[in-house]
Structure 1
Amino acid sequence: MNLDALRIRVQTLLAAASLTVLTAAFPSIAAERTYPANPHTDGPTAVARARVAADVLMSSYDPDKAWFPSSWWNSAVALQTIGDYMQRTGDRRYLGQLDNTFEKDQGVFPAGVLSGDPLLGNFTSQAIDDTEWWGLTWVEAYDLTGNPKYLNMAVTIANYVYGYWDTSTCGGGVWWNAQRTYKNAVTNGLWIRLTAELHNRIPGDTLWLSRSSTAWAWFQGSGMINANGLVNDGLTNACTNNGQTVWTYNQGMAIGAGLELWRATRDPQILASVRRLADAAIGPNALVTDGILTESCDATNQTCDDNGKQFKGIFMRYWTDLVDTTHDPRYAAFLEQQAESIWNNDRDAAGRLGTRWSGATNDNNPNVFDWHTQASALSALIGDVPKLTPWESLAATMSPAQPVIMPPASGDTSIAIDLGVSATGFFPLQARASIDAPSGWSTSPQTTQVRLQPHGIANPVSSTTPLQVTVPSSATDGHYMVTANVTAAGMNFTTQADVLIAHKIDFDTGTVDETPWLFDPDGSQSNGVQNRFADGTTHFTYLFPFPVDTTSAQVTLTIDNQFLVQVSTDNETWTTVLEEDQHVHDGSNKAARTIDLTPYLGNASNGSKPIYLKVSDSFPSEGWGGRVYHVTANIVE
C-alpha cells in the first residue's frame, strides 16, 4: 500500500472512530453538516481558503495598540472572526493576539486613543453596543481556551450593560448609548445573544437565561421587525418602528440571538421565529441581489463607511450558526454561494477580499479592499469549512502578490517572487508546484518540489521557494498573471501574482490602483476612496522601481495636513524632502507638491533604480498626519 493510500485509509478510520465517539456523547452530532452543501468546494480547499484570508486579515493587526487600526468595535468583531476561524479550523496560531488585546486594552483610556468615546475599563464605554461586541469576543476566547478570565470579563461587561435595560421607555430594551437617546435593533440583538451565551456556559444559571428570555420577548413585540419579517434599525421616540435601513447585521444578529436562546430553552417557537427571519432575509426584495448578500451601501453609486463594510460578515457568522443548527439545505446552499462568489469574484491576487461580494466596481465608487472588508468576507469562508474539520489541507501564496515592473527601453527585467506553501495534517507531504507565466515571459524554476512535515492542525507548517520571473522589454502596460498550481496527496491549490507593467505612475490613493505601488502601509488608513493618511507614529511607503535607464524623475503628491515626506534608495536611510511645520488639522494646506527625485536615483538594483517614498506625521503627538490623495510621476529615460 503506497503512502497516499495509507493516508486515506488511516484518515477514514480516524474519522469514523471520532464520529462514533462524538455521536455517543452528543447524539445530535450525527446530523451535523460534515461537508459543504456544494460539492465544488471540498473541505481541505475550504480550510485553505479561510487560512489564506485569515492571515491577510491578521497582517493588519497592530500588536502595540492590540487592535486593528482606528476602529474600536470593529476590532472586536474582527477578533471574534479570527476566533471563529480558529474554532472552525483548529488553527490556534492567533490565540496570542487575542490575549494580547485582552491584557493591553482592558484599562481606562481617554477619548480618541482607542475609541471616539472614553473607555471606562473592562472594555466598557458610553457606546453600549460597542461594549457588547467585546463581551461576545471574550466569550469566544473562553470557548477557545477554557480560561475563566475571559468568561469573567464577559460577565462583567454584561452586568454593565444591564444597567441600561430600561422598562420605563417602550416597556423594555437596552439603550444604545449612555445618554439614553435611542433603542435599536443591534444593541438588543447583542444583548439577547450575550446573555444566552452566558447562560449556556455557566452551570446552574437562571439569571442570564431570565434576562435573555425577557429581552427576546420584548424584541419580538417591539415593532422593530416589520411586516416583511425584516429588522429595521430601531424605534422612534414614540416607540414605533422608525422605518430606517434594514442593515444585514441587524437581521443576522436577530437570527443569532434567537439561535443561542433556542439552544438554552429548546423552545420550538423561538426556532420558528428564527426561520422566519432567515427566510425573509433571502426572500424577494430583501437583502440579496442575484443570489449574493448585498448591503444597501453596496450599490455601485455608493461607498460603505467603515461600519457598513463589516455588516455582512456579522450576518454570515450567524447564518453559519443557522446552517449548523437546522441543517436546512437551502440555508447551506446560500452560504456556499456567498463563499464561492467572494473567492471567485471579490478577491485580488494578494488574497484581499472586497466589500462587494459580487465583485462589482466602477471608477467613481470602486470596490474597496481593507481589513474591515477582509474580516467581513472571511466570515463566509469560515462558514464554508465543514463542521468536522478536515485533518489535511494545502494552501499557497505568492509574495509580493502585486509587484510592479517598469521596463527599460531595451533589455529584459527580472523580479523575485516567493512561493509560499502551507499545510496541515499528520503525514509527510510532497507537494509539486507548476509555474505558468504569460507568453514571452520565463520563470525559474518552472516546476519545484516542496516537502512539508505537518504535525496536526493547530499550527500549519509552511515553506518558501524563491522564483525568478523575467519580463521582456516589449511587454506593454497592463496587469499580467503569474500562476502557481500546487498539488499534493489529492489536494490542489492555485495562487497568483498580479504583475503590473507600467511606464508611468498615476494613481488615486485608497483605490485598487494604489495597491501595487504601496510597499508598506504600516498603520496608515484610508477612510474613503482617494485618500490615505498616517497619524502619530504610523507611516506608509511607496516603492517606485524606476527603469534602469532613468536619468531624471519627479513625483507630485496631492497632500495636506501635517505631513513629513522622506525618500530612500534602500528603505533604511531616509532624507526629508517635504515637511509641514504648521499645525494644520483641517486640510486647508491641500496642494499638489512636486519633489525632484533625480538626486536620489542611485545604481540599478534588481533591474531597476528603486526609490522609496515614505509619508508620516510631522507632529506625531497630535494625530493629524500626512494625507495623500493623488500621486503622479514624470520620468525621463
Structure 2
Amino acid sequence: MIRAARTLQILVAGAVLAGAALSAPAAGAAPASDGPAATARARVAADELMSSYEPVKAWFPSSWWNSAVALQTVGDYMERTGDRRYLPQLDNTFEKDKGVFPAGYLSGDPLLGNFTSRAIDDSEWWGLTWIQAYDLTKNRKYLDMAVTIAEYVEGYWDPSTCGGGVWWNGERTYKNAVTNGLWIRLTAELHNRLPRDKHWLGRAKEGWNWFTASGMINSAGLVNDGLRDDCSSNGDTVWSYNQGLAIGAGLELWRATHDPKLLTTVRRLADAAIAPGGLVTGGVLTEYCDAPGRTCDDNGKQFKGIFMRYWMDLADTTHDHRYTAFVAQQAATVWGNDRDAADRLGERWSGAEPNVFDWRTQASALSALIAAVPSTPPTRSLSATTDPALPVVMPSTGAATHVKLTVDVQATGREPLQVAVRATAPSGWAVTPPRSTVLLRPHGNAVPVHSSVQLDVTIPAGTPDGRYPVSATATSGSQLSFSTRADILIANTADFDTGTAAETPWLWDADGSQSNGVQNRFADGHSYFVYRFPFPADTTTASATLTIDNEFVVQVSGDGQQWTTVATETQPFHDGENKLARTFDLSAHLGPDKAAYVRISDSFPDDGWGGRVYHVTATHD
C-alpha cells in the first residue's frame, strides 16, 4: 500500500496522453535483429535489478505486488536469454514468503499464506510469477502454488454484482480491469499447462466474455480502470498495464482455443494503444503520470513494463511488423535515453527530466529490453560494466587525484573469446592501461563467464566541477562490441535534492529506503539510507545540512561501520510538521581518508513514518 501523504502523483480522471506515429530507432542503436547486443543489454539491466533483491525477506524492499512483478520479469529474462543464475532467488522467495505474515512485514495487509491477501490482484500477480517459475524449472510445486492462488481468487468471482467479474479486494468494493485481466491470463495459463483441464478453461472463457462486455473497453479500444457502483465504466485513466493485461489475456486464451475472434479483439486493443490518442508520445510508450508536472507513484512506475511483457507476447505470436517495430523502438529509446552510467533505467523512457530511478523503474524498463531479445537466444554475447560507475571526487587544492575503476567483461557462448578493452578519458586526463586484452572461455548461456580489467584514472589539479565520462569498449572480432562508462563527478561541495539523478553519486547505501519523487527519500521501519562525502585529504572541518522531517534518526561515521547518533526525533510526527534544515558538524567524525558517512533511519520503526530528507548540502574547509 502507498501512503497518500507521500504520493506525488496527480490524477485526473479520464485524461490520456496524446499519441504519435512511431519513429525510427535512435541513432547508433542496435537493430532489432542484433540478438547478441539485445541479450547483453538485458543481462546488464537484469543484473542491476537483482542488486536490489533483499535475500533475508526474499523480496525487493519495500513493495509486495511490485516484487512479484519484478521477479516475474527476471523470470522472463532467464527464459528469453537462457541465463539461469537467478533461479535460487526465485526459490528463496517461494520458500521464505509462502507463509502467514502480519500487516507491515511484507505488505501493508496481513498475508494469509500461499501469497494471498485481501488484495486480490496482488495474489494474482504472485500466481503468474509462480507459473513463470514452473515454466523455467518444471518443478510442480510452483504450478501447484499457482493453482492454490487461483482457487483463492475464484472465491471472489461474483455474478450477483454486474453479472460477474472478480472483486478487487476482500471487502468487495470495486470491480476493475487489472484484477479481471489478471484472472483471465492466470486461468488460461493454468489450462495451457494442466493436461485434460476443463475447469480453468471455462473460467478463462467466462472471464473474457464478461470483461469484453463490461464496458471497460471504451469506444476507442482503450481500457478504462473499472466500474462504478451502477456497473457502468467509470472512464478512469487508461493505464498501460490494463491495456497490456487485456492483450495478454486474449493471447493466452487464444492459445487455448484458437478462436480467431480473440485475435481480432487483441489486435484492436493493440492498435488502439499505439494510435493517436493512445499510449504513445513521440514514438515512446508514455504513462499518464509520465507527463510534465506529474510523477508516477510506486505502482505506476511498473505499469509500462507489464504492458511490454504482453506486447512481447503479441509480437512473438503475430510477427506483425508494426508490433515488432514498436518493440525495437522502445528498447532503443530505453537504452539510448533512459540509462545512466550505472546502467540504471528510469521512469521516463524518453529520458525527460526530472527522471526517477529505482528498482521498480528498472524492472519496468527491463521488460522493454527483454522484448528485443530474439525468442531463440543468440549463441554468444558480450557485455561490460564499470565499478564504481558514479564515483565522486572532492579534490584537494593543487594536487592531482587518482580514481580506481574496474571494468568487468561478461560473455556467453561455446567458443573462447579474445576480448580487447580500450579505455578513453577526457582531454588532459590519463587512464592506465589505455588498452588491454582478456580471454574468456564461456560454456553456454546458463552462467556467463567474466574477467576484469583494472584502470587507474589521473585527474589533473584544478579540474572544474562537473561530470566527466571515462569510457571503456570491449570488442571481440567484428561482431561483438559493448561500451560502458563511469561518470566521475568533480564537486567541491555537495548540493542536491533527493529523489533525483544528482543524489545518486552521493547515495552510498540506499538499503530499503524509498523515493516517491523529487525531494522525497524516506526510510521506514528498520530501513535506512547512507550518504558518503569523500572530503579531500587536506580537510580540517566539515559539515552536512539536511532538510529533514518526520520520525528520523541521524547518525554519522568515518568508516561506514561504527556509528554515532547525532539527532533523534522523539515525537511521532507523520505529516512533516517538524520539517527543518538541520546542520551536523562532521569534523570529529572524519575517517582516515577524510570521508564522512551520514545515515538516516526511523526513530519509531513500528508505525511507518521514518526520516524523510528533501535536500542535502555538505561543505568543508
Superposition TM-score, scaled by structure 1 size: 0.91
State whether residues 486 and 494 of structure 1, in contact with CA within 8 Å, keep that contact through their aligned partners in structure 2. Answer: yes
SS of residue in 2 equivalent to 1:526: strand
Distance 1:348 1:326 in 2: 34
1:556 partner SS:
strand
Once the two structures are TM-superposed, the CA of residue 579 in structure 1 deviates from its matched residue by 2.7
Following superposition, the deviation at residue 405 of structure 1 comes to 0.9
Alignment-mate amino acid for residue 119 of structure 1: L
**Residue type of the partner of 1:356?**
R
Secondary structure of 1:212's match? Answer: helix
**Identity over aligned pairs, percent:** 68
Quote the offset at 1:570 in angstroms: 2.2
Superposition pairs of residues 461-540 of structure 1, within 5 angstroms = 461-489=449-477, 490-540=479-529
The answer to whether the aligner puts 1:630 opposite 2:618 as a matched pair is no
Tell me which of 385, 394, 413 is aligned to 1:406.
394
Q: Distance in 1 between matches of 2:456 and 2:600?
A: 30
Give the structure 2 partner of residue 445 of structure 1: 433
Q: Which residue of 1 aligns with 2:549?
A: 560
| Cα drift, residue 623 of structure 1 | 4.0
SS at match of 1:197: helix
Distance 1:409 1:457 in 2: 49
Paired position in structure 2 for 1:431: 419
Work out the CA distance in 1 between the residues paired with 2:113 and 2:328.
40
Q: Which one-letter code corresponds to 2:43 in the other structure? A: R
Deviating more after overlay: 409-418 vs 586-595? 586-595
Aligned AA (1:359): G
User: What is the alpha-carbon distance in structure 2 between the residues aligned to residue 570 and residue 97 of structure 1?
Assistant: 30
Q: What is the distance in 1 between the residues matched to 2:37 and 2:284? A: 21
Q: After alignment, is 320-329 or 419-428 more displaced?
A: 419-428
Is the aligned partner of 1:100 residue 2:88?
A: no
- Of the three residues 250, 263, 266, the one matched with 1:271 is 263
Secondary structure at 2:458's aligned position in 1? strand
- Cα distance in 2, alignment partners of residues 561 and 403 from structure 1: 30
Cα distance, 1:618 vs structure 2 = 3.5
- Once the two structures are superposed, the pairs formed by residues 126-165 of structure 1 within 5 Å of their partners are 126-165=118-157
* Match in the other structure for 2:58: 66
AA in 2 matched with 1:117:
D
Question: 5 Å matches for 1:207-246?
Answer: 207-246=199-238
- Specify which of 565, 569, 586 is matched with residue 558 of structure 2: 569
1-structure distance, mates of 2:360, 2:375: 25
Matched, 1:191 2:189: no
- Name 1:45's counterpart in structure 2: 37
For 2:179 and 2:552, the matched residues in 1 are separated by 39
| Aligned position for 2:601 | 616
Q: CA deviation at 1:338?
A: 0.2
- For 1:139 and 1:448, the matched residues in 2 are separated by 44
**Residue of structure 1 in register with 2:278 after alignment:** 286
- Pick which of 421-430 and 38-47 moved more: 38-47
Whichever residue aligns with residue 562 of structure 1, its letter is E
| Cα distance between partner residues in 2 of 1:358 and 1:408 | 38
What secondary structure sits across from 2:367 in the alignment?
A: helix
Deviations 1:324-357 (A, max 9, x none): 0001011000011000000000011110101111
CA distance in 1, matches of 2:294, 2:548: 24
Helix, strand or coil for the counterpart of 1:125? coil
**Offset, 1:562:** 3.0
Is 2:338–2:345's contact at 8 Å kept on the other side of the alignment?
yes
- Using the alignment, how far apart are the partners of 2:31 and 2:456 within structure 1? 36
Gaps of 5+ in 2: 1-28
CA distance in 1, matches of 2:154, 2:608: 35
Q: How do 1:8-47 and structure 2 match up within 5 A?
A: 39=31, 42-47=34-39
Matched residue of 1:97: which SS?
helix
Maintained 8 Å contact 2:559/2:591: no
**Which residue of the partner structure matches residue 34 of structure 1?**
none
Q: Which residue of structure 1 lines up, in the alignment, with residue 174 of structure 2?
A: 182
In structure 2, what is the Cα distance between the partners aligned to 1:492 and 1:394? 7
Alignment of 1:330-369 (within 5 A): 330-361=322-353, 366-369=354-357
Larger RCO: Structure 1 or Structure 2 (Cα < 8 Å, ≥ 6 residues apart)?
2
Using the alignment, how far apart are the partners of 2:112 and 2:561 within structure 1? 40
Whether the aligned pair in 2 keeps the contact of 1:310 and 1:375 (CA below 8 Å) is yes
**What residue ranges of structure 1 are gaps of 5+ in the alignment?**
1-36
1:25 aligned partner: none
C-alpha contact 2:495 2:616 (8 A) present in aligned 1: yes
Following the alignment from structure 1 to structure 2, what is the Cα–Cα distance between the partners of residues 454 and 46? Answer: 18
Q: Is the 8 A contact 1:38 1:333 kept in 2?
A: no
Separation of aligned partners in 2, 1:313 and 1:411: 47
Residues 573, 112 of structure 1: CA spacing in aligned structure 2 closer, same or farther, 3 A cutoff?
Answer: closer
Please give the per-residue CA displacement for 1:435-479, whole angstroms capped at 9, x wherever unaligned: 010011111111111222211111111222221111112211111
CA distance in 2, matches of 1:250, 1:619: 37
Q: Which moved more, 1:563-572 or 1:135-144?
A: 563-572
> What is the one-letter code of the residue matched to 1:506?
D
Question: Is this contact kept in 2: 1:524–1:540, CA < 8 A?
Answer: yes
CA contact (8 A) 2:400 2:458 kept: yes
* Aligned residue type for 2:550: N
Amino acid at match of 1:631: V
Q: Structure 1: how far apart are the matches of 2:589 and 2:163? A: 70
Q: Please give the per-residue CA displacement for 1:10-56, whole angstroms capped at 9, x wherever unaligned.
A: xxxxxxxxxxxxxxxxxxxxxxxxxxx97366111100000000011
Q: How does 1:290-309 map to 2 (within 5 A)?
A: 290-309=282-301
- Distance in 2, matches of 1:470 and 1:38, equals 33
> Which of 504, 514, 536 is residue 547 of structure 1 equivalent to?
536
Instruction: Indicate the SS of the match to 2:218.
Output: coil
Is 1:91 the counterpart of 2:83 in the alignment? yes
Amino acid corresponding to residue 629 of structure 1 in structure 2: Y
- Residue 123 of structure 1 is matched in structure 2 by 115
* Structure 1 residue matching 2:502: 3-state secondary structure: coil
SS in 2 for 1:439: coil
Distance in 2 between residues matched to 1:191 and 1:40, nearest whole Å? 32
Whole-angstrom distance in 2 between the partners of 1:598 and 1:159: 61
TM-score (structure 2 length as normaliser): 0.93
**Could you say which residue in structure 2 is the equivalent of 1:377?**
365
- Residue of structure 2 equivalent to 1:114: 106
Question: What is the CA-CA distance between 1:589 and the residue it aligns to?
Answer: 2.7
Give the secondary structure class of the aligned counterpart of 1:124: coil
Quote the residue 1:28 is aligned against: none
SS of 1:242's equivalent? coil
Q: Deviations over 1:563-593 (max 9, x none)?
A: 2222222223332322334444443332221
Aligned twin of 1:33: none
> Aligned with 1:91: secondary structure?
coil
1:316 corresponds to which residue?
Answer: 308
- Secondary structure at 1:523's aligned position in 2? coil
Which residue number in structure 1 is paired with residue 3 of structure 2?
none
Is the 8 Å Cα contact of residues 30 and 38 (structure 2) preserved in structure 1?
Answer: no
